[in-house]
Amino acid sequence: MGIRRPGATIIAAATIAAMTAIATPLPAQDDESLPFPEGWQIRFDRDGASRDDLYLVTMPPGMHITTGPALIAWHPDSVATGDYRIESETFLFDPGNRREAFGFFVGGADLQGSGQRYSYFLLREGGQFLVKTRDGDGTATIQDWTSHPAVNSYATRDEGAATAKNVLALEAIGDELRFFVNGEEVWSGSRNGRATEGIFGLRVNHGLNLHVTTIMRSDR
């Protein structure tokens, strides 16, 4: 699922040939013929959570995710170090009354162990974003939930659309981090002391239905 060549883009989704724009992705279907994304790994926030409560499949272009418990998902070949840009295109289906978060993480290390560590950048329904870090069982808030007009909500989606589309991006250049939503910078901060070197992947909280067409790295 991850493709890595020196100086090239890493695409951690379905097939490069299938990475085309879609106006309205299909909702998840109970189709056992759709495969779990090859090589991908997951970790639930809650001990004892079951994969039976997760629908995560390759559905070109990209992957479809319907969560029970909150989790992170990644391909071990998806690594970002030095100066880089991470970008992910996500379509949110009807969240009902839930305002659960979704987005991506960077700087992942020991992701299946007790010392798991990463920084994460999230959106939620209502037009808000968040920046946090995790170190073991603890988390620290860098930027608490903040409203920004660049974040698209399902409630204010285009007429006739089945989803709300958001493109999230992070640029890590030198000592600076810059977080973008739909091409507009919403946050910037120092890279010092934060997890930014390592595996990158998806973070999805509980009870969400998403289609992720891409999560990719490009060098800067």
Lowest-pLDDT range of 46-55, 134-143, 146-155: 46-55
Adjacent-strand bridge partners of 41: 74
In a domain, 25, yes or no: no
Q: For residue 32, what pLDDT is reported?
A: 66
Q: For residue 29, what pLDDT is reported?
A: 52
Can you read off the two tokens belonging to residue 80?
Answer: 């970002």
Q: For residue 3, what pLDDT is reported?
A: 26
In a domain, 156, yes or no: yes
Domain extent for 74: 10-19+34-211
Binned at pLDDT 50, 70 and 90, residue 31 comes out as low
Share the mean pLDDT of the chain.
Answer: 88
pLDDT of 28 over the 80 cut = no
Sequence-distant (6+) residues with CB within 8 A of 118 are 72, 105, 106, 107, 108, 109, 111, 133, 134, 195, 198, 199
In a domain, 217, yes or no: no
Give the chain's domain count. Answer: 1
Q: Are 179 and 170 in contact (CB under 8 A)?
A: yes
In a domain, 5, yes or no: no
| 7-20 residue pLDDT tens | 333 333 333 223 23
In a domain, 134, yes or no: yes
In a domain, 121, yes or no: yes
Binned at pLDDT 50, 70 and 90, residue 30 comes out as low
| 70-94 residue pLDDT tens | 999 999 999 999 999 999 999 999 9
Three-state secondary structure string covering the chain? CCCCCCCCCEECCCCHHHCCCCCCCCCCCCCCCCCCCCCCEEEECCCCCCHHHCEEEECCCCEEEECCCCEEEEEEEEEECCCEEEEEEEEECCCCCCCCEEEEEEEEECCCCCCCEEEEEEEECCCEEEEEEEECCEEEEEEEEEECCCCCCCCCCCCCCCCEEEEEEEEEECCEEEEEECCEEEEEEECCCCCCCEEEEEEECCCCEEEEEEEEEEEC
Question: Rounded to the nearest 5 degrees, what angle is found at the Cα of 217, between the Cα atoms of 214 and 220?
Answer: 145
pTM equals 0.87
In a domain, 107, yes or no: yes
pLDDT of 22 over the 50 cut = no
Give the span between the Cα atoms of 59 and 79, in whole angstroms: 23
Q: For residue 201, what pLDDT is reported?
A: 98
CATH number at residue 44: 2.60.120.560
